Structure 1
């Protein structure tokens, strides 16, 4: 089976999917992770998974602002910077 896993460029979204992706690979499935940020490709490959980049034009704070939760992105940029991930 061919499986495409999509992720926003945030470790909190991507890392919970890594065990599933590896379970699929271990049973012989063809797995590809698609993420919209070039800088996040290194995170995906460090998890041992193949990555395919897509162009979306949104950064991490824009993803949170585009979510259905009002105010979700207000402090995301500052939180990312404080965590050392920026």
Structure 2
């Protein structure tokens, strides 16, 4: 669930800023393949990577972790119905 929120916020901010994943990749210093995996729910970013992405998007890290009142089904629809990995139970 946390990955859904994180990558949904990244995709939203990319769209708002009319920025491509390639541009974000270059600004954040992460590979385009990792960024694609991340926004497709196939990767788990470290705190350092999350900070780099937040800086590249010119937002505070908590903005990327803000929750929404949408349920998991709605978030998955926004992610084109792709199953997304989440944190194991008990992790925050």
- With the length of structure 1 as denominator, give the TM-score of the two structures: 0.29
State which structure, 1 or 2, has the greater radius of gyration over its C-alpha atoms: 1
Task: Pick the structure with more strand per residue.
Answer: 1
What TM-score results when the alignment is normalised by the length of structure 2? 0.28
The structure richer in helix per residue is: 2
Query: Which structure is richer in relative contact order (CA contacts within 8 A, separation 6 or more)?
Result: 2
